[in-house]
A and B are shown apart, each in its own frame.
Chain A
Amino acid sequence: MRLNSIDALLAITATFVFSCSLVAQNAPLAKAPSPPAPVHDISGVWFLRSPAAMSSFTNFTFTKEEPELTAWGKEKYSEAHAANGGKYTMETTNDPVLTKCDPPGTPRVYFHPYPFEFVQTPKYTLMLYEYDHTVRRIYTDGRALPSDPDITWMGTSVGHWEGDTTFVVDTVGINDKTWLDRLGHPHTADLHVNERFRRVDRDHMQIDFTMTDPKALTKPWTSTFYYELRPTWEIGEISCAGDYQQFNKFESGK
């Protein structure tokens, strides 16, 4: 109970103290009672449930503050016309996902408002994102991260456990056509994404993100997102090809 009280106080504080945003963003929700996390198991369907202080931005970016971009990063970011801020419509955006159905890439895939599922096997763990059948294969067979990776949309990932309940994943070789988020923050093919999936109890997981890309970011961009287990849900089908393009016609009212 004491922990719950502290969590609730943090959440309330986070709602009102935006000036302490780094602390506020990391304040967890008051949690419902949950059994402890199982050992080396994050399988199941998970859904983003952001604390109040974060819900205004977690559908499109990692932090309330802008990341610290290099001059190259700022130039590329100025070329991005994201559709979710209200300034650009489907006809004027250059979002590669919405206009071309490009795969979202890692880590932008987290900014589609649909759940994802972990499927664990002895040698790899699959991440099945509901958005557009997106799959990530995270190798856990002990192989090293490639030093000169081939470039793919979702990157090459290896993972390992730290302690009983934290699954650590490193990803490299991500296509630089993808955005880091829905706002269009850019990255290069040298991007390294580190994700720490911390199952804090059976029903709750936190992901610590660290994006490192010296050509685009003057320092690593970090955030923590909050997820809840949805044991009764099944991953459905969200397809992009053929569907999203029709929205140009729909939104313009033609």
Chain B
Amino acid sequence: MKHMTKGPVLIVVAACVLLAVAAPLFAHHGTAAFDTTKTVTVTGVVKEFVFVNPHAQIYFECKNDKGEPEPWQGELTAPTKLSRAGWTKNTLKPGDTITASGNVLKTGAHTMWIRKLMGPSGELQLAEE
């Protein structure tokens, strides 16, 4: 992760409390593949937003500390839950800058379970209530 210490924002914080509160939102499958002991924050540009079951996906691109593009994948909850929170398939568009905080895969792959998301117009609600 040291390559992320410049350019993109990288913050690692304890996430136990957040996990306890947010876990039901992600309850259709396990979270064992994700490192839930750390929260990672990255800023990047949306390449594609896919509003699909079972969980919506954001494909976005960050830059590493060498300025090289780095692909990321972010996961949200189900489209129905996002709809009730005001989302549509057009809420995020290619070119939008986002800052996503969440847990990444234990494998180190740039796949994030997003727990907090800032979009072009501010923070986005990630569940119906």
- A residues contacting B by CB (< 8 A) are 55, 59-60, 82-90, 93, 98, 112-114, 130, 233, 235-240, 243-244, 247, 250-253
4 closest pairs, A vs B, by CB? A253-B109, A236-B80, A83-B30, A243-B53
* 10 additional contacts (CB under 8 A) given A84-B29, A93-B29, A238-B80: A82-B30, A83-B30, A85-B30, A86-B32, A87-B32, A114-B80, A233-B84, A235-B80, A247-B54, A250-B57
**Cross-chain contact A83 with B53 (CB below 8 angstroms):** no
Closest to B31 in A: A86
Tell me if B88 is interfacial: C-beta within 8 Å of chain A: no
7 CB contacts below 8 A, A to B, read: A83-B30, A90-B29, A113-B25, A114-B80, A236-B80, A237-B53, A239-B53
Contact A83-B80, Cβ < 8 Å, known A59-B24, A253-B107: no
- B residues contacting A by CB (< 8 A) are 23-25, 27-33, 52-54, 57, 73, 75, 78-81, 83-84, 105, 107, 109, 111, 128
- How long is the Cα–Cα vector from A98 to B55 in the complex, in angstroms? 14
**Cross-chain contact B53 with A252 (CB below 8 angstroms):** no
- How long is the Cα–Cα vector from A86 to B80 in the complex, in angstroms? 25
B32 CB to closest chain A CB, in angstroms? 5
Closest to A92 in B: B32
- How long is the Cα–Cα vector from A84 to B26 in the complex, in angstroms? 10
**Cross-chain contact B27 with A236 (CB below 8 angstroms):** no
Closest to A97 in B: B28
B31 CB to closest chain A CB, in angstroms? 6
**Cross-chain contact B27 with A59 (CB below 8 angstroms):** yes
